[in-house]
């Protein structure tokens, strides 16, 4: 096939896309600014099981609270993709620990370094070309007018990190999967939604530590896997990976008036003598939790994963969305390549798959409206909501697993009104959840095909709905 796809960024989204295109015999090149050994995170993440299975990974069997299978790490060694401990049911604690709910999770704790390296290896073996220390700098494009369809992306400038030289790489299609900095799409004309800068308010700051655990002291210091959801506008968790190893994490809204998540972790550790000082793995970074882009494509260009802000806004888990986006994009691009097309009408199928067919996008858009409201709740309000049962049942479970579910919560509101001394809080919650429901329905009606007028109308309505969230 005389159709060349260039992918910038070797994260899960870019790699799964490259692997699938290469398997279809489509020439594909990945440029990654880091090195093979730096791919992913230096810790294990909770990743959605369904997208991992869709991407071809053998999901282990659950035996009690342990995963069993060929890809599971053994207790004594660190090889393997998945951590052995399983959390089919996760304990959610209120910030003051006085209330606890159990929810089902559709997640498996996945070693992000191993996942990154495995996916890039699969892409390479399928025939994709991969270059490390190559940084995508800006898109090469022409403009015939002001509209999205008047744009034509024909390549990208790539900097060789070793030699310090830049060169133009031409392609039929450039895919940006470079994570939340998403430098390429921001080089497009500013009036296009594709060039939107993600504000600080759409980020969380996350800190993770994997520490050794003293097994003797652990006998008198039991630590359940838990998630203190809503703590300091984010979360604080601990997961016991193996009897001798514990993962502790915290995330907060990315804002000057929030505590440092590292301090939250230190405070937790100070209360648990079994957690040792030695840090096995870990790190910290901002994490995107905002609203997904309203459009992911332009002629000759497609953006996916964190670069398009598609993580679950209420948790920051974005690996599943990146994998699904890579798979959906591969089908659209493979067909486009066979037809020798890279126009907007053809690439629009990716938007349709994301927002309409799979409904993942509609859920994420709705949750992105709920997230700022949840983050605005102080500990006192959250403790109360947990205690009176407002955060009980399906809706919280759905939200953590990436799905929006409004009605049951809304139906509960009148009875809760009686139990709460702050009706203003509940009125705000009711208003935001009702808007989120409207957003969900609006995104489920995303234009199935590209047509400038109908997209512009749809977008105006979407903006109107979101502007009311922040009223
Ligand atoms: C601290 C933290 C904790 C998280 N925890 C979870 C979790 O528990 N579960 C979960 O599912 N998700 C989690 N996420 C989110 C998850 O990591 C992302 O959603 C996911 O990795 C997105 O995949 P991606 O393919 O879009 O991009 P990324 O994984 O971000 O990969 C982008 C790649 O592009 C490269 N790159 C960047 N710029 C350029 C450039 N200009 N040129 C070339 N290469 C470039 C980067 O080096 C990187 O390798 C977390 C994120 C953070 C930051």
Residue nearest to atom 41 of ligand 1 (CA): 136
- Asked if residue 313 has its Cβ within 6 Å of ligand 1, the reply is no
pLDDT in tens, 53-74: 999 999 999 998 899 999 999 8
pLDDT average, residue stretch 336-341: 97
Ligand 1 centroid from CA 424, angstroms: 38
Please report the pLDDT score of residue 18 as a whole number.
98
Please report the pLDDT score of residue 392 as a whole number.
62
pLDDT at 312 over 60: yes
Please give the sequence-ordered ranges of beta strands (E in DSSP) within 233-292, or none if there are none. 235-242, 245-253, 275-288
Please report the pLDDT score of residue 88 as a whole number.
85
pLDDT in tens, 230-250: 899 899 999 988 888 999 999
End-to-end CA distance of the chain: give it in Å, rounded. 52
Where residue 405 falls among pLDDT bands split at 50, 70, 90? confident
- Asked if residue 136 has its Cβ within 6 Å of ligand 1, the reply is yes
- Asked if residue 247 has its Cβ within 6 Å of ligand 1, the reply is no
Which residues fall within 8 angstroms of residue 242, CB to CB, at 6 or more apart?
A: 73, 75, 83, 84, 85
Q: Which of 34-48, 186-200, 227-241, 287-301 has the lowest mean pLDDT?
A: 227-241
Please report the pLDDT score of residue 320 as a whole number.
97
- Asked if residue 32 has its Cβ within 6 Å of ligand 1, the reply is yes
- Asked if residue 10 has its Cβ within 6 Å of ligand 1, the reply is yes
Residue nearest to atom 12 of ligand 1 (CA): 317
**pTM for this predicted structure:** 0.95
The preferred substitution site among 178, 203, 234 for testing ligand 1, maximizing ligand atoms within 8 Å of CB, is 178
On the 0-12 / 13-18 / 19+ scale of CB atoms within 10 A, 448 is middle
Please give the full DSSP string across 340-351, using - where no structure is assigned.
T---HHHHHHHH
> Alpha helices of 213-356 — where are they, by DSSP H?
215-218, 261-270, 319-339, 344-352
Instruction: Tell me how far CA of residue 387 lies from CA of 91, 189, 393, 412, 438, in angstroms.
Output: 15, 50, 13, 14, 28
Cα separation, 398 vs 377, in Å, equals 19
Ligand 1 centroid from CA 446, angstroms: 26
Please report the pLDDT score of residue 243 as a whole number.
85
pLDDT in tens, 419-467: 555 667 777 778 888 899 999 999 999 999 999 999 999 999 999 999 9
């Amino acid at each position: 096939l005389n159709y060349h796809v260039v992918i910038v960024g070797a994260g899960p989204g870019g790699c799964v896309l490259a692997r699938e295109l290469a398997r279809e015999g489509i020439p594909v090149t990945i440029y990654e600014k880091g090195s093979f050994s730096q791919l992913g995170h230096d810790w294990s993440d909770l990743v959605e099981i369904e997208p991992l299975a869709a991407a071809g990974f053998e999901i282990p069997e659950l035996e009690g609270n342990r995963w069993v299978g060929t890809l599971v790490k053994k207790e004594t060694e660190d090889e393997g993709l998945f951590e052995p401990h399983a959390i089919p049911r996760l304990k959610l604690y209120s910030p003051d620990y006085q209330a606890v709910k159990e929810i089902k999770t559709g997640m498996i704790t996945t070693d992000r370094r191993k996942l990154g390296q495995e996916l890039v290896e699969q892409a390479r073996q399928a025939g994709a070309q991969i270059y490390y220390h190559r940084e995508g700098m800006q898109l090469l494009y022409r403009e015939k007018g002001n509209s999205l369809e008047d744009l034509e992306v024909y390549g990208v400038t790539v900097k060789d990190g070793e030699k310090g030289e830049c060169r133009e790489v031409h392609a039929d299609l450039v895919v940006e999967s470079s994570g939340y900095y998403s430098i390429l799409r921001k080089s497009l004309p500013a009036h296009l939604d594709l060039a939107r800068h993600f504000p600080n308010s759409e980020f969380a700051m996350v800190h993770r530590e994997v520490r050794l655990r003293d097994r003797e002291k652990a006998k008198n210091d039991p630590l359940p896997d838990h998630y203190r959801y809503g703590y300091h506008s984010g979360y604080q968790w601990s997961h016991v990976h193996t009897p001798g190893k514990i993962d502790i994490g915290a995330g907060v809204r990315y804002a000057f008036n929030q505590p440092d998540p590292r301090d939250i972790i230190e405070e937790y550790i100070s209360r648990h003598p079994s957690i040792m000082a030695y840090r096995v793995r870990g790190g910290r970074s901002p994490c995107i939790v905002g609203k997904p882009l309203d459009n992911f494509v332009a002629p000759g260009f497609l953006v996916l994963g964190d670069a398009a802000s598609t993580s679950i806004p209420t948790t920051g888990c974005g690996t599943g969305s990146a994998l699904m986006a890579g798979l959906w994009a591969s089908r659209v691009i493979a067909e486009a390549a066979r037809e020798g097309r890279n126009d907007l009408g053809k690439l629009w199928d990716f938007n349709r798959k994301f927002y309409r067919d799979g409904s993942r996008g509609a859920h994420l858009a709705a949750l992105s409206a709920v997230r700022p409201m949840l983050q605005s709740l102080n500990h006192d309000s959250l403790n109360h909501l947990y205690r009176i049962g407002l955060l009980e049942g399906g809706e919280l479970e759905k939200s953590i697993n990436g799905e929006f579910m409004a009605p049951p919560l809304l139906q509960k509101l009148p009875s809760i009104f009686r139990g709460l001394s702050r009706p203003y809080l509940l009125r705000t919650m009711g208003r935001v959840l009702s808007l989120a429901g409207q957003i969900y329905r609006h995104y489920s009606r995303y234009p199935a095909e590209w047509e400038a007028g109908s997209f512009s109308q749809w977008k105006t309505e979407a903006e109107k709905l979101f502007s009311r969230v922040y009223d």
